[in-house]
Each structure stands twice: as structure tokens, then as C-alpha cells.
Structure 1
Amino acid sequence: MIVNTTAIVLKTFPYGETSLISRCFTKEKGKVSFIIRGAQSKKNLTAPYFQPLSHIQIIYNEKEKRDLQIVSKVNFVDIWLKISSSLKKMTLLQSILEITDFTLEINDPHPTLFTILIDIVSYFEKGSVEPNLAFWFYECELLSEMGFRIDLTNNKINGYSFPDPDEGENSLKVLQHLINRRVDQIIFDNVSKKDKKIISNYLYQQLCYHFERFDHLKSFKVARDVLNSV
């Protein structure tokens, strides 16, 4: 079956001497792995399309029994020009890609989450939302999309206790706005360093509870330091 879908590249690595394997989050099919033959050869111009964070339109002939799909055609949908100039934004987005790759199952579509992810990257590109808020918002949306919508009134699930989200002056209010998609109502200047630590740790514990071995994600450890900084 011919599939024509938008996608965002999650991770790409070399395969053999000239090829690449790329895992992409596609809007139509969820997470899909592709092999791009000859992408590392000098005459092949497809490698730039499969850099992590690339927003692409991809066409391929889906073979259900094949672990690696073969790309027929690829084009850029958006080119992010400003993100790479900010180490903070690059660090947080790299973590978002790793979180997405870790939590999604192969061929399990989540078109709503895909749209939200593209929106998040656009926020980072345009600078229209504080990076911390965009990152926390994506965590909340991912949990909700996977069936684990946060209930701030219940801090214990099956004997597992979550941190108190109300320990900071504004931490609970910020979390409420994030969960209810009211990011525009958050005044980030009023979010203290203590609030940041409480929010980051609370969402991290939610992810660790619902996704086994989540605490092993390397990029997330760096992202937490960035989120908690002044």
C-alpha cells in the first residue's frame, strides 16, 4: 500500500557503509523505521532530510511484514532556521524526540500527538512560548494521549506516591493550566525556581510510573537540569 504522510524524524543512524536507518513519527502510521539506501554516498542528496527534528513529507510502499520500510520520495515541509542557535532549545527538543521515540509503539498512530509535537517545535522556532512551558505542556499531552491524563487530586496510584504538586507558590496553578491546555494564562515570570523544580519533578515521576525504564533516558537527565535552571 502506498503511504503519503507527513513525519518528523526522531532518530537516524548509519547502516553499513552507505545507508541510513531512520525512525520517524508519521502522522498517518505512527512510529515507522525506514532504510535509506546509499544516503551516505557523495552523489546521494537524501541524508539532510533525515536529520533529527526534520519535518518532512514522505512517500513509501508499506510492506506490513517488513521491519524497515523503503522510501520512495521525500521533501521538506518546514525548515527550522532559528532553533539551532539556542542550546537550551536544542537540548529540550532532543529530549522531546527521545521521549516520543521511547513511548510510542511501532505502527501505532497518534495523529493528535503528532500535530501537538509540530506545534511545540513551531513554538520553539518562533519563540512564542517559553521553552519550559512548551516542554511541560508536551509531557502533559503525551501522558493524556497515551491514556494517563494527570489527576492532580490523586497523588497515589496503586501504592505509588507522587510528589506534592502544591509545594510551590504557583506550581499547582501552573500544572492545572498545562493539563487544561491554558498555557496562555501562565505568567512565566511568576514561576519561581522552586516552582520549576516541583513541576519538572512531578511530571518526571508521572512518566516514570507509567513508562517502565523511563528513568534510563539520558537526554532527559540533561533536560531536567535545563528546566530547573534560573
Structure 2
Amino acid sequence: MEWRGTAILLSVRRHGETSAIIDVFSEEKGRHAGVVRGGASRKVAPILQPGAQLDVAWRARLEDHIGSFVVEPVRSRAALVMGDRLALSGLNAVTSILCFCLPEREAHGPLYRRTEQLLDLLGQNDVWPLAYLQWEVALLEEMGFGLDLSACAVTGATEDLAYVSPKTGRAVSRTGAGTWVDRLLALPDVLRGVGDAPDIEVAQALETTGYFLNNHLAPDLGNKPLPDARARFVDAFTRTV
């Protein structure tokens, strides 16, 4: 069994004295693990940096075996995050969340393409937090927890939408909120793709998407806690707002 393609490196861990086990995310094969022989060597280890774009060739005797990878660098993103706390924490958030939520060997083509585009924006801190927010919204959609922000869940109105139901992920208007207002999540305009997307709104929107990641997606995956890397990125970003 074998396949070859371009993939994003998500994680690396030492395997024995000289090898490494890597997790990659490819457009057609999804999240896929394999052994890199010599992955701990001085020649190969610098290539195996999370976020790197790799050309990978996977081979195994049987399809359900972990198999082995031969890797070639396509694009390193290490220079984009070196010395940049926000970019580094953002990269770690993306790779950690994908390792956390993606089922192994299940294709998620649209999410892969969006992830590649997001990582190519690393270091552009004026646009990256907004792109990251949009990526989280797409991730929730891909995982089956998409937000429906088109109309009020109570009145059907499409104007004055200000809240999100924490239970259903649907928008709620100020009128429809009624006495439940204190139990609803914020719906800043940026979350609906409206307005100039100031950083303060992006930070508010990340609180809302974070609620669904922690309270809907994580429980669906066996109540595993969401990786701390996301909280570190959100904290690094909010300190700049």
C-alpha cells in the first residue's frame, strides 16, 4: 500500500534512537501518521517542524499498518514565526487543534485548503487573527457544529442580530433574546462577516467559537480537553487588543 502527496506537518515525536513518528494533514488522505526513518538525524530533523509543507510518500505492507514516510521539504514556515510570539502561538493552536479533532485517515479537503491558506498568512499579524477566526468557524462547520447566523432562531428576523444560542449555535436578535439575554453568547458583526472587523470584535468572536469548541466539539470527541495551545494564542492576541 502506498500514496504520495503534499501535506502539512502537524506533530513530531521521537521514535527509538534515530526515527520519528509524524502526523500530517493532506487534502486527500486527511490526518495520517507514519514513521520517518532517520527523522531524528541532523539532516532530517530541521525539516520536521510543525506547520511545514512537505511532499510525502507513505508506504506500508498493509493499509492498517502505521507505515513509513519519505519526506521532502516544500515550504518551511519556521522563519515566519521565529521571534514572533503571536505567530508562533497561532501556529501551535492550528496544528494542535487539528491533531485533536481530525479523525485519522478521513479526508477533509475544504478544511485542508483553508488551513494551507491560513498558515501562509503567518507573520501578517494585521490580518492573521481574523483569518484564524474564520478558520475556526469553518472547522466547526466541517466537524458538524456549524453556526447558523442567518436569522433569529426566535423571531425569524434578519436584523439586529446580537447573540448566539449556546445550545443550538443559532443567532438571536435583541428582541428575541428577552429574559434569556444573560445566558446567550455575543454575536459581534465580524462573526457574520459584516463591518470592518476591529480586533476587539475578533476577540469577542473567539470567545463565542471557543465556547462551541469546548462545550460541543470536545465532548463529542470523548470529553478530551481542548489543547491549551488555543488558549495561549487567544491570550497572546487579546493582550494586543
Asked if Structure 1 and Structure 2 have the same fold, meaning a TM-score greater than 0.5 normalized by the shorter chain, the answer is yes
> For residue 141 of structure 2, what is the amino acid of its counterpart?
S
Question: 1:128, CA displacement in angstroms?
Answer: 8.0
Q: For 1:203, which of 202, 209, 221 is the aligned residue?
A: 209
Whole-angstrom distance in 1 between the partners of 2:195 and 2:46 = 37
Answer with 89-98 or 47-56: which moved more.
47-56
| Equivalent residue runs for 1:161-176 within 5 Å | 163-166=184-187, 171=188, 173-176=189-192
Runs of 4+ residues deviating >3 angstroms: 213-216
Contact 2:34/2:58 (8 A) holds in 1: no
Matched with 1:85 is 83
Matched with 1:53 is 51
Question: 1:94, CA displacement in angstroms?
Answer: 0.4
Question: 1:124, CA displacement in angstroms?
Answer: 1.6
CA-based RMSD: 2.4
Whole-angstrom distance in 1 between the partners of 2:225 and 2:195 = 28
Whole-angstrom distance in 1 between the partners of 2:112 and 2:166 = 30
Contact 2:133/2:202 (8 A) holds in 1: no
Contact 1:207/1:214 (8 A) holds in 2: no
Residues 1:187 and 2:184 aligned together: no
> For residue 135 of structure 1, what is the amino acid of its counterpart?
Y
Question: 1:196, CA displacement in angstroms?
Answer: 4.1
> For residue 191 of structure 2, what is the amino acid of its counterpart?
L
Secondary structure of residue in 2 paired with 1:220: helix
| Equivalent residue runs for 1:5-20 within 5 Å | 5-20=5-20
Question: 1:176, CA displacement in angstroms?
Answer: 0.3
Matched with 1:223 is 233
Matched with 1:181 is none
1:44-94 CA-partner distances (Å, limit 9, x unpaired): x2222321111001112243120x2212x3222223333323111110110
| Equivalent residue runs for 1:1-230 within 5 Å | 1-42=1-42, 45-62=43-60, 63-66=62-65, 68-71=66-69, 73-80=70-77, 81-125=79-123, 127=124, 130-152=127-149, 153-154=152-153, 155-157=165-167, 163-166=184-187, 171=188, 173-177=189-193, 187-188=196-197, 190-192=198-200, 195-208=201-214, 209-212=216-219, 213=223, 215-229=225-239, 230=241
Equivalent pairs counted in the alignment come to: 209
Higher Cα Rg, which structure: 2
- Give percent identity, aligned residues only: 22
1:138-180 CA-partner distances (Å, limit 9, x unpaired): 101111112221123451437xx974224xxxx2x10001xxx
Question: 1:134, CA displacement in angstroms?
Answer: 1.7
Q: TM-score scaled to structure 2, two decimals?
A: 0.78
Question: 1:121, CA displacement in angstroms?
Answer: 0.6
Contact 1:196/1:227 (8 A) holds in 2: no
Question: 1:135, CA displacement in angstroms?
Answer: 1.5
> For residue 22 of structure 1, what is the amino acid of its counterpart?
I
> For residue 229 of structure 2, what is the amino acid of its counterpart?
S
